[in-house]
Amino acid sequence: MPTQAAAITQVINSITKEEQALGNLITKETAKLDNVLQNPDTTPADLIAINKSIGDMIAEIGNNNDALADKLGAALSGEEPTDPTEIQEREDAINDLIGSIADEEDAMADLIDKEAEKIQWTIDNPNSSIQDLIDINNSVVDVIKGLANNNTALAKKLATVTGN
């Protein structure tokens, strides 16, 4: 049976794995939006519908990240490793987690860029009305709000592992 310190490192590793999966999910959501933008038959209504789906997914990712931040805080309040190998494994696990947070931040930046492309697509589309522009903008705002909430959870995780 592993020591409590080793078990905590395992928890950190599992949080990292989940963090990586969440980043991958955001990347797939971005690709989904890109596919819709590239389709010549896309309408503003299509973009609003896909953005509703993306916004819902981002909100759930934020909720998940919040729960992971709480789990991380609980794990790190446990026993500190004393064995040099366990100390190194814990440091490696924390560094991997910080890297996965950075990867998720990159995925969110890509999604923000794609949201900007969506606004530009609407502006450039001669069939877009003023109401389409307003609706698209509102859907972008919803996604950005979800990303802001996700950033709060990521900042909480980062502060937990760095002690700040």
Q: Which band of pLDDT confidence, cut at 50, 70 and 90, is reported for residue 78?
A: confident
* Residue boundaries of the structural domains of the chain: 4-162
- The reported pTM is 0.88
Model confidence pLDDT, tens digit, residues 37-64: 999 999 999 999 999 999 999 999 999 9
DSSP code of 83? S
- Burial (0-12, 13-18, 19+ Cβ within 10 Å), 65: buried
What CATH number labels 4-162? 1.20.58
Q: What is residue 79's predicted lDDT score, i.e. its pLDDT?
A: 82
